């Protein structure tokens, strides 16, 4: 549903020791969809990660504030309303503009355009804007597995 088609070349997204750093999940700034975010939270929690779920329609300011406050191991932007490409670029641009967030791993996934599939150019633009990985719908399949693998690669906190 939300995430498919891995378009990433950076398999070393991970900081050395993440401790109990959460994964920050955010819907696109103009995207009201929720199920993708509920699903991602469950999926990420099953990988032993605490989730801070910012919910749908996350303003850029809120994303930056929360990222500074939470020091997340990973920022996940999810969008399915067709504005994900534009929203996503603005969100990551603001994120990267903060010095302390310059290196936080960030990925985006979903249905990012209104045409049903994202072009290679759009994926490249999203990466150039600051995403470490792009899981864009309509280019390939098996993205959930790829995303799942990425989560397993994150340093795990102790499961108690």
Partner 1 sequence: MTRARTGFGAFVREAHERGRLVVQPRMGMSDPERMRAGLRATRKADATTVGTLTIDSYTRVGDLESARLALLEGAALNGYPIVSHERRTTEAVLDGVCGPDFPVQVRHGSAAPEDIIRALLEVGLDASEGGPISYCLPYGRVSLRESVAHWTAASELMAAARGPGVEPHLETFGGCMLGQLCPPSLLVAISVLEAVFFRRLGIRSISVSYAQQTNEAQDAEAVAALRALCSMLLPDVDWHVVIYAYMGVFPETEDGARALLGAAAGLASRTGSERIIVKTVAESQRIPSIEENVAALELASDVAARTPYAPAPLEGNAVHAEARALVEAVLALNDDLGQAFLTAFATGLLDVPYCLHPDNAGESRSYIDTDGSLRWSRIGRMPLRGIAESRAARGLTSSELLRSLSFVRRSYDGMAAAGVS
Using CB under 8 A, pick the residue from 10, 19, 32, 153 that binds partner 1.
32
Contact 45, 78 (CB under 8 A): no
Complex with partner 1: residue 1 or 13, whichever CB lies closer: 1
**Cα four-point dihedral sign 116, 124, 30, 110:** positive
Residue 25 CB-half CA count within 13 A: 25
Q: List the interface residues with partner 1, window 33-72 (CB under 8 A).
A: 34-35, 37-39, 42-43, 46, 53, 55-59, 62
User: What single string gives the DSSP state of each residue in 98-140?
Assistant: SGGGTTS-EEEEE--SSSSS--HHHHHHHHHHT-SEEEETTT-
Distance CA 85, CA 50 (A): 27
CB of 15 to partner 1, least distance (A): 24
Residue indicated by tokens 């020091």: 71
Of 8, 50, 86, 157, the one binding partner 1 by CB under 8 A: 86
31/132 with CB nearer partner 1: 31
Compute how many residues bind partner 1; rule: CB under 8 A. Answer: 28
Residue 107 within binding range of partner 1, rule CB under 8 A: no
Site of interaction with partner 1 (CB under 8 A): 1, 29-32, 34-35, 37-39, 42-43, 46, 53, 55-59, 62, 81-83, 86, 111, 114-116
């Amino acid at each position: 549903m939300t995430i498919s088609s891995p378009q990433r070349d950076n398999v070393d997204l991970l900081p050395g020791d993440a401790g109990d750093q959460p994964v920050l999940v955010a819907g696109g700034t103009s995207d009201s969809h929720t199920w993708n975010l509920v699903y991602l939270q469950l999926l990420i929690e099953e990988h032993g990660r605490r989730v801070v779920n910012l919910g749908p329609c996350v303003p850029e300011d809120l994303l930056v504030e929360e990222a500074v406050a939470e020091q997340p191991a990973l920022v996940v932007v999810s969008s399915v309303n067709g504005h994900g490409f534009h929203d996503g670029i603005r969100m990551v641009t603001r994120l990267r503009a903060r010095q302390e967030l310059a290196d936080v791993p960030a990925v985006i996934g979903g249905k990012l355009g209104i045409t049903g599939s994202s072009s290679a150019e759009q994926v490249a633009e999203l990466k150039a804007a600051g995403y470490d990985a792009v899981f864009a719908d309509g280019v390939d399949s098996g993205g959930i597995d790829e995303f799942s693998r990425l989560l397993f690669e994150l340093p795990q906190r102790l499961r108690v």
